[in-house]
Amino acid sequence: MAYSVNRLIFKYGWNEWLCKTNFSFLMGASHPHEIMQRAWALNYSSICINDYDGVYGLARSFLDLQRLKQENFSSENKKSLR
């Protein structure tokens, strides 16, 4: 039986694999904390940050995720980020 893309996304969730921060010169526009807030608001189970020429955005994203977990964003805060 062939599954539609929507059924697969509903069943397994969505994972973003092509994400670049503003540390990728002329490629990404968002700061790491903006990307992490958006992923948190959309309930992503994973996200892959693949900046060019370094892992600077990855380190900051990790720190931002830790901060978000400590703040324990409520569902109201998540709705405001959408």
pLDDT at residue 25 greater than cutoff 60: yes
pLDDT one-digit tens code per residue, 53-81: 888 888 888 888 888 888 776 555 555 55
Residue with tokens 């790491």: 32
Provide CB contacts within 8 A for 24, sequence distance 6+: 51, 52, 53, 57
Tokens describing residue 16: 């973003």
Residue with tokens 């969730």: 13
Question: Where do the domains of the chain lie?
Answer: 5-81
pLDDT band at residue 45 using 50, 70 and 90 as cut-offs: confident
Q: What is the pTM of this model?
A: 0.63
Provide CB contacts within 8 A for 62, sequence distance 6+: none
Average pLDDT, the chain: 78
